[in-house]
Chains A and B, each alone.
Chain A
Amino acid sequence: MARTDVQLMLDVKAGDELSFELLLRKYRTPLVNFLYRMVRDRAVAEDLAQEVFLRVYRARQEYAPSAKFTTWMFRIATNLALNSVRDNRRRQLEISMDQTVDTGEEEQRAMEVPDRAPSVEQELVARSRAELIMKAIHSLPEKQRAAVLLHKYQELDYDEIARVLECSESALKSLLFRAYETLRVELAPLVSPTVRTNRVPDHRSGQPA
C-alpha cells in the first residue's frame, strides 16, 4: 500500500532518505509549475522550488503532522514566491528610478504609462494564447494569483488554500471570486460567447470550474 505524504515525511524524519526522494519525484513538477506561474521566470522558479525542498529537508527533525503535507509545502512555496515577487518589483522600481535620474528626458518616457493599451486583437496577434492567459494571471494581485493557482492547478481544498494564505475560508471564497471576475474580464475575448464566436475560433466546450 502506498504511503501517504505524511507517512513519507515521518519516515524522512526517522532518517529514510529514499522517502524524501519519493516526495521530491512526486512534487517537483507541480511545485516548479506553481512557482513559474507565480514569478514568470523559469530559472527563479526552479531555484525557489529547490529552496522549498531544502527547507522541507532541513525541517524534517521538527516535522509534526499537524496539517496535510501539501498545505505545509505550498505554504513555504507561496511565502517564498511572494517574497521573490516583491523583491523583484522593488528592484524594477529602483532600476526605473535610476534610469530617470541618469538620463533625464529620454528615460522619462520609460515611466510614462502608454496612452492606450494595445488592443486585444493586437495582443492575440503578437502573443500566443497561452502567453495571453499567463499575462492575465500574472496581472492579478499576488495573493489572488496564488489563490487561483492553488485552486485551479493544484486543486487544493478551500480549507487548505485558506491555511496556505492565512485567511478564513469565507475570505478565500471572496478572494477567488474577485480573481476569477478579473480574469473573466481580462480574458473576455476568450471566454465571452459573443467574442469567441466572432473573433476566436472556439474549440473548447465549457467544463465546470
Chain B
Amino acid sequence: MSERTEPETARVAPRSGVFAWFARSRPTRPGETYGVPGQGDTLVLSLLTIALLIFVWWAVTAAGLVKPLFVPSPLAIVQKFADVWTNGFTGTPFWQHVAISAARVFGAFLLACAIGIPLGLAMGMSPVMRGIFDPPIEFYRPIPPLAYLPLMIIWFGIGETSKVLLIFLSVFAPIALGARAGVRSAAIEQIHAAYSFGATRWQVLRRVIFPSAMPEILTAMRIGIGFGWTTLVAAEMVAATKGIGYMVLTASQFLQTPTVIMGIVVIAAIAYAFDMLMRFLERRLVPWKGKM
C-alpha cells in the first residue's frame, strides 16, 4: 500500500532517465510560453560549434593525421587567401574573379526577379497564364542545371549568354513560384474591402495583392539567389577565364586544395552576406510579416 500514500505531485514529476525529455516538459519561466517548440537563443551554441569545428580541423592537420593535399590546415587557407588577394590567380586580380562571378549571379538574379515576379503574379491571378506557364516551369525546375548545360552551350555558345542564362534558369523557377504562391496571401476580406470601396481589378492587384505577397516574394528571392550561387560553379565550367567558380575548378585540376577551399569559403561568405542584406530588407520592407 506504500504507493498509495505517495504525494499527488509525484505523479506529474518528470520521469528520470534518458527519455524524461520526451515524457514531459517542465513549467516555463515568466516571459516564455509553455510548450513552444524549439524556443531559446542559439547564438552562443552556433559560435561554439564553429570554433570547435575549426579547432578539430586545426588539430587534425597539426597532428599530421591527414596529408595537406587532402585537408590543408586553416592557416594554409588564410595564407592562400592573402596570396591570391595580393598576387591574383592565373594572372587576374582576385577582385576581378569576385566581380565577374558576382556580376553573373546578380545579373541573372535581377533578370529572374524582373521576369519571374510579374510572371508569377500573373500566374497566380489568371488561370490562363497558369495553364500556359505551369507545365514548362514545373518540367524544367527539378532538372539539375548540369544536365542542360550542354544544351545551353550548343544553343547559346560559350560566351556570357549561356553562363548567365544557366544561372537565370536556376533562380527563375523558385522566384516565379514564390510570387505565384504569394498571390494567395491576401485575405479575402482585404480584397473584398478594397472592391467595396470601388477599387478596380488593377488597383486590387497593385495595392492589396502585391503588398500581401511581398513576404513570400522576398523569401523566394532569398531561396532563388541561393540556387544561383549553387549553379555558379557549373556555369563557369565551360570556357571561363575568370570567376570564383573558374578559380575553384582550375585549382582542383592542379590539386591546389587550399585554393579550392578558399574559393568555397569566399562563395559562402558572399552568399551569406547577401542573405543578411535580404533579411535586413525584409525587416524594413515587411515589418508586419506574420503579425496580422
Query: Is the pairing of A and B real?
Result: no
